[in-house]
Structure 1
């Protein structure tokens, strides 16, 4: 029987939806509500929604989304596209929500609505996380829910928010996460606040998997953690580039050391400190990840895939593959293309 192996943190997210690890059993679905205000930012809304949908692609049924408007009628987005909601504010099931997202936009009127204000207050009292997109933070401030919080809002609306939320810190950041308040000033910020919330709910591996799909260029050299973010150091970036460019004929660590001009011990320390693994293990898992992609998205035979990914024999490749993915390469599903 092949001993089951687990991908290191740096690569697990890329393979999470392909691992037969039993994590999909017994999952409880978290409900997320979106309140769409007049002229809300469609790009910000879709960024937030796509992040949740992608999480469900990796781990099915994690999140269920619902859309609402103030009166339950259709609402026009900033791009002129009409959206039909599921219902109105009165139908929002606060007792079952984990996150309530208020979607504003550049032309969304900064006008208080008593029903919305009461809803936000009740949600806060119940401990529901609140997210405000574009100028959504203004409505939180109007409801008195930003006192002592840092927040983000589109530059056009910073003065207005600062005026009504005198005890909050209105930042110039694209997004801000402060305890249970998630605010974003842009579509990119909407992606990051929802990503952060997912990370706190489900852990960093799922976050890395989402980033690998939606922001793959960023995911190559940036570790995303629910609590903090940091970039890899340049020597580690160069080392990983070398590994990615040499999958068919893997380099020895001594060769990599000479190319990046740091010692083998330094390379091992960088991998340990920044990725929590060894360079040899990372290299192996990088090659297995590429092998999975080739098996799914090409017509190459198993022998050809094993050669393309630097394995000395098909049997060695099969053993390694089975130990990580829980099944042999011959059982990998070939996707149509």
Structure 2
């Protein structure tokens, strides 16, 4: 079923995102650094903040230099998070800092008091006037609404604070959604919403492979130690999803395309058309990339020998395995970095 690969190959579809960290590629992205700032209010939700921040940091891990981040306090004192951990922001927020930002996110929490002084409101209004995108986590949207910056916008806020936001910003459309991105306003009502908000914001700025790579690391932490079921995250038709599940369950002894077609009640040609239309590749190539990806995971995160790995992933010989691996990653499997202690 495999074909020997000689020239350097590019992963297709979701397989590229799963391997993005290890491809050492230059995507040719010339877009400027996106500068983000987080205003940490007293009792802010530390999980919501870290979910958003970790998404940006992970993007930089996969492709360095995409985002910068800075934290701000309303004063010079330390800030206590909702978990009782004390955080010292990088700087005190003032108008002079706005020239260094593209996005400013207000981080609130369940116990964050809904009160904003004139100075804070002035900074938020100035940021909006300067074209800076604005965001709010947990009840952070209330502060944007109180500053009159959500009129005509859809937004998300923790359920406990929806009535308060509706009261101060009657022109805002307060939703029950976990997150909302409406033009240059980004709001989330929970930690998971903060993650999805940041992820979809990045998706609008960059390519799908980067987003899939971030998801593979953050949304599926167990992927570092055992295989991810690839059908969980792909939006495909039921027959194709079943084929992918069969492929995943049969890596050591790969099934022939005719066998896969019979199992799902389709012809070989129908199966090839489904892969082309929905995943942008061929069944054979997807199967090979699935096995190469699993081989990379096993080499990095287990103590299995190279021979054990190639057998577990259905390769017929060490030379064939080495050629396939080198074609995708640019180096032989014997050179793969072992991450187990």
Does TM, scored on the shorter chain, surpass 0.5?
yes
Equivalent residue pairs, number: 330
Determine the structure 2 residue equivalent to 1:127: 131
CA distance in 1, matches of 2:281, 2:82: 46
On the 8 A contact 2:303/2:340 being kept in 1, the answer is no
1:222 paired with 2:211, answer: no
On the 8 A contact 2:229/2:248 being kept in 1, the answer is no
TM-score (norm: length of structure 2): 0.89
TM-score (norm: length of structure 1): 0.90
CA distance in 2, matches of 1:191, 1:329: 34
Determine the structure 2 residue equivalent to 1:64: 68
Q: Deviations over 1:29-79 (max 9, x none)?
A: 432211011111111111112212222222233322211111121111112
Shifted more, 4-13 versus 309-318: the winner is 309-318
1:89 paired with 2:93, answer: yes
Determine the structure 1 residue equivalent to 2:148: 144
Shifted more, 159-168 versus 256-265: the winner is 256-265
Q: CA deviation at 1:261?
A: 2.9
Q: Which runs of 5+ in 2 are unaligned?
A: 221-227
Q: Deviations over 1:116-172 (max 9, x none)?
A: 222222222222222210111111111111122111111111111112222221111
On the 8 A contact 1:24/1:60 being kept in 2, the answer is no
Shifted more, 213-222 versus 65-74: the winner is 213-222
**Structure 1 residues 262, 200: closer, same or farther in 2, change over 3 A?**
same
Mapping of residues 183-194 of structure 1, within 5 Å: 183-194=187-198
Q: CA deviation at 1:221?
A: 2.6
CA distance in 2, matches of 1:101, 1:134: 11
RMSD, aligned α-carbons: 2.2
1:39 paired with 2:54, answer: no
Q: Deviations over 1:75-103 (max 9, x none)?
A: 11112221111111127632222221110
**Structure 1 residues 26, 174: closer, same or farther in 2, change over 3 A?**
closer
Determine the structure 2 residue equivalent to 1:287: 291
Q: CA deviation at 1:8?
A: 0.7
Q: CA deviation at 1:173?
A: 0.5
CA distance in 2, matches of 1:55, 1:73: 30
Shifted more, 40-49 versus 161-170: the winner is 161-170
CA distance in 2, matches of 1:92, 1:197: 25
On the 8 A contact 1:32/1:98 being kept in 2, the answer is yes
CA distance in 1, matches of 2:329, 2:18: 12
